Chain A
Amino acid sequence: MKVAVCVKQVPDAAVHKRLDPGTHRLDRSAEGALNATDVNAVEEALRLKEAHGGEVVVVSLGPEKAIESLRKALAMGADRAVLVSDDAAAGSDLLATGYALAKALEREEADLVLFGQQSSDADGAVLWAAVSDRLRRPMVSQVAELTLEGGTVTGKRQTEFGYDVISAPLPAVVAVSDAINEPRYPSLKGIMGAKSKPQDVLGLSDVGIEADRVGEAGSRTVVRSSSPPPPKSGQVKIEDDGSAAERIVDYLAEKRLI
């Protein structure tokens, strides 16, 4: 069984994430780590491999140095890494990225494709749904528990209204939430062995991606500008004179929070 895990590299130092003043996109020059929930996805893939045998390959789109963060997945136990790296792909939006990833995944012909999905709305794009549509495969997202049996994958999907249990036949795409598992630390032997595992860095043409389908040319959205948010207006600070509780209720009611 082959499991492909889509991962992305994110800026490492938590401190000074900033937007490039020219492009208004995330300044990725201090890049380093694997996106946190992608690590959960890699862990889930490794557990499936331990239970069912097969191969785990990590797939990513990014600059050449993204290969370093793919090594963490290899150190954890993944077998192979594939990085599609091409200057023409810089500045790809969701549409272009989804297209490029789908092309890279088609090459792999995996039985199961995993994505990591942050539980809180963040910089993460909703890539898995776009990729599933292009691959023409069933998809289950927001999965907090995953089982695989007899060619069917079943996920416990967390929604605003409780849990839905969804089943889909392989080949399928699953996006897992960070609640699904506690990722393992790579062992020292794993870290040392990672460097000698197969790592392919491919260009667009290697994967059959036309240059005009990625990058700015392949994107359908633009970032126009960025600015600091307006300073918080309407901040109120009061001292309790015995009526603070009532004043809080009034405030919440006025803001229609209760």
Chain B
Amino acid sequence: MSVRPADFPPPFSNDEAIGAVTDAPDERIDVGILIVGGGPGGLACAVRLGQLLDEHPETRELLGDVPVAVLEKGKQPGSHLLSGAVMNARAIRRLFGGRIPIEEMPTYGPVHGEAVYLLTKGAALRIPPPPTMMNHGNWIVSVSELGRFLAEQAEAAGVMILPETAGQKLLVEHGRVVGARTGDKGRGRDGEPLSNFEPGVDVTARITVLAEGTAGHLTTAAIDRFGLHGSNPQIWALGVKEVWKVPKPLHRIVHTMGWPLRKRAKYGEFGGSFIYPMGEEHVSIGFVVGLEYADVELSAHDVLQEFKTHRLVRKILAGGERVAWGAKTITEGGLLSLPSKLNAPGLLLVGEGAGLVNVPRLKGVHYAIESGRLAAEAAFAALQRGEVAHRRGALDSYDASLRASYVWKDLAEVRNMRQVFDKGFFMGGALASAMTVTKGKLPPKDFDTHANADAPLIRTGRAAQYPAPDGTLTFDKLSSVFASGNRTRDDQPSHVRVQAKVPRDLAEMWQWMCPAHVYEVGDADGDGTVEVKVTPSNCVQCGAISAKGGRLTPPEGGSGPEYTLT
């Protein structure tokens, strides 16, 4: 009888992430608009709000001493941002009203050329880029650097950015969102307050924007509380990437499919790699695997290491040195997994947290920015004198504007692309081509997705193919966690919720799955279950565990990776 992660749900209820205001009035902090998440979506929202409030000081006055605040759980904006990335510049240009040329923003230049390969173990067959993958006119960026840039712009526009601050609980009263409570700091391993214990604070706001990115903690709870579930469950992929300093510059972006992933439908291995030049001296290389895979021993980190041993990749990395590593999940469900509405009384959902990612095109950064901008405009409108920001429907203009935008149009075109790969690479490929050519009109029915945690586990001895880490080309997980800049304080409560005793297959699956080596198979209990050993301080908060039977919650603010180049 094979094990399904979904049968072992985490000891966590979304109710834990929702609560009423408990701080006394002089203890709580009141802001005009609270944005949770300092990524491209949240910061674009902040920048746009800053612009609007500059143009309309009478509205700014209505919002108190701190009109706009952004909570960011990382050490600084960018610390938890990781992506490929090749970005469509249209949204960021629009955000700055054309006043800042793209050349003045932190990018690694426009895409000069593109190649797609189908790999086998020994060969690389160049194939014409699928129509969804034409990147001419797009720009190569580090989303971490972009985050730092957007944060500077937001601060210049009068926005208050609060780093090292986690959004722990959504504050809801009388059926509307009234802000968020920040996380405690200075608790010991068993939750006991240490000598420098600093309790979290209720931050109240007229409108709260959730821009938490993938596997968002408050977003997940909000969708549940306000009944905003979409038609399909949300699904994710896990991406692991490295940045390398290389002697020989790469002059085009590369995508690969095929090896080391397996094509047959029963493995459920959907994904591929990206290799992008970062200027003349660096490359960004990553591997993405959909989390509906079935094999207990599949490890995205080790698949990346294996991938690097391919002749094609060795040539690119030859003589180089790894300078960064990181991992993050990618929201993959597309249009059909989006929440039924992206707003509720006092609440707006933007970016990847809302599910706005175009998987076949590997794009999401510009949707985050565009949705952040549209959310700002809707929030601004709802805060005008005479409006009641939290009344039912006050923020519907956000959903309307998003549905009328290119974001929606793009997602509709590719809405079934990901799901058909359930049928395996070749069948999926054929269906995907049909979709592209007809711009989503064929095939006519919408395909269902299965939640990642529903996939029953199988064993195939996959781990035997992973290369032993040599410390030069291939690396083990612990040294990779170190390379992410992670130096999380050990003596704090565990932020990862998983059942403590599970069948061995499940514990092993988690052990392989997690790129940061958070889970280990512990002692057997004689009844077929084993204890799960958790080392939460390794966690880089990628979110994979939330897709596969557990639940990630935010640790103490400032914990986790300190990405700068990813």
Q: Which of B165, B195, B485 contacts A13 (CB 8 A)?
A: B485
Name A's interface SS: loop
Tell me the nearest residue of chain A to B556, going by C-beta.
Answer: A185
A139 to B379, CA, bound (A): 57
| B29 pairs with A188, CB closer than 8 A | yes
A46 to B186, CA, bound (A): 18
| A14 pairs with B76, CB closer than 8 A | no
Chain B residue numbers with a CB within 8 Å of A13 are: 485, 562, 564
Tell me the nearest residue of chain A to B195, going by C-beta.
Answer: A182
Chain B residue numbers with a CB within 8 Å of A14 are: 485, 487, 562
Interface size on A, residues (CB 8 A): 18
| B186 pairs with A30, CB closer than 8 A | no
| A15 pairs with B324, CB closer than 8 A | yes
| A182 pairs with B29, CB closer than 8 A | no
A188 to B185, CA, bound (A): 11
Interface-side segment among B7-15, B196-204, B250-258, B493-501: B196-204
Min Cβ gap B29→A in Å is: 6
A195 to B185, CA, bound (A): 21
| A183 pairs with B324, CB closer than 8 A | no
Contact of A138 with B by CB under 8 A: no
Q: Which of A12, A16, A184, A192 contacts B162 (CB 8 A)?
A: A192
Tell me the nearest residue of chain B to A191, going by C-beta.
Answer: B162
Looking at A183, A186, A187, A188, the one whose CB has the most chain B CB atoms below 10 A away is A188
| A192 pairs with B66, CB closer than 8 A | yes
Which residues of chain B from 197 to 213 have a CB within 8 Å of any chain A CB? 198, 201, 203
| A189 pairs with B562, CB closer than 8 A | no
| A12 pairs with B160, CB closer than 8 A | no
Contact of B194 with A by CB under 8 A: yes
Chain B residue numbers with a CB within 8 Å of A183 are: 196
Contact of B118 with A by CB under 8 A: no
Contact of A63 with B by CB under 8 A: no
Chain B residue numbers with a CB within 8 Å of A182 are: 194-196
| A188 pairs with B201, CB closer than 8 A | yes
Tell me the nearest residue of chain B to A30, going by C-beta.
Answer: B564
Chain A residue numbers with a CB within 8 Å of B194 are: 182
Contact of B323 with A by CB under 8 A: yes
Complex interface bits, A9-34 against B, C-beta within 8 A gives 1, otherwise 0: 00011111000000000000010100
Tell me the nearest residue of chain B to A68, going by C-beta.
Answer: B76
A195 to B165, CA, bound (A): 17
Interface residues of B (CB under 8 A from A): 29, 66, 69, 75-76, 160, 162, 165, 182, 185-186, 194-196, 198, 201, 203, 323-324, 482-485, 487, 562, 564
> Would you list the 9 A-B pairs with minimal beta carbon distance, nearest first?
A185-B198, A185-B185, A13-B485, A188-B201, A184-B196, A182-B196, A182-B195, A15-B485, A13-B562
Known: A188-B29, A195-B160. 7 other contacts (CB 8 A): A12-B562, A15-B324, A15-B483, A16-B323, A16-B324, A32-B76, A185-B196
20 interchain pairs, CB-CB under 8 A: A13-B562, A13-B564, A14-B485, A14-B487, A14-B562, A15-B482, A16-B323, A30-B564, A182-B195, A182-B196, A183-B196, A184-B196, A184-B198, A185-B186, A187-B198, A187-B201, A188-B29, A189-B201, A191-B162, A192-B66
